[in-house]
């Protein structure tokens, strides 16, 4: 009964509340506008600043650099052979 394509004749119709939807949308837009105005015009202004973090570079005292050891070789193996018969299609 719930999956019928048309509602029963005695079912009350839902009101189209466009006015309430526009009021809610207007309140949300106004709230966003007030928030953005506050962020842009607040005293002191909120400014993104660059933060420099001092970092000391650790260097070998002798000044010579050692090369990294070579990477181990990766052995390649062949995948196993799979023998699957073709499907039988009956017409």
- Tens of pLDDT, residue by residue over 12-24, are 776 778 888 889 9
The answer for residues whose C-beta is within 8 angstroms of residue 18's C-beta and 6 or more apart is none
| Residue 45, domain member (yes or no) | yes
The answer for residues whose C-beta is within 8 angstroms of residue 39's C-beta and 6 or more apart is 46
| Residue 73, domain member (yes or no) | no
What CA–CA distance (Å, rounded) separates 16 from 10?
Answer: 18
* Tens digits of residue pLDDT in 51-71: 888 877 666 666 667 788 899
Residues in the chain: 91
- In the chain, how many domains are there? 1
| Residue 38, domain member (yes or no) | yes
| Residue 58, domain member (yes or no) | no
- Distance separating the N- and C-terminal Cα atoms of the chain: 40
- Domain with 27, as residue range(s), is 17-52
Q: Do the Cβ atoms of 39 and 46 come closer than 8 Å?
A: yes
| Residue 41, domain member (yes or no) | yes
pTM for the full predicted model: 0.35
């Amino acid at each position: 009964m719930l999956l019928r394509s048309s509602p029963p004749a005695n079912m009350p119709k839902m009101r189209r509340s466009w006015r309430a939807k526009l009021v809610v949308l207007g309140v949300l837009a106004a709230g966003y506008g007030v928030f953005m105005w506050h962020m842009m015009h607040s005293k002191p202004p909120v400014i993104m600043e660059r933060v420099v973090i001092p970092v000391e570079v650790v260097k070998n005292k002798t000044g010579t650099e050692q090369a990294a050891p070579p990477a181990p070789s990766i052995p390649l193996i062949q995948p196993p052979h799979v023998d699957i018969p073709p499907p039988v299609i009956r017409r």
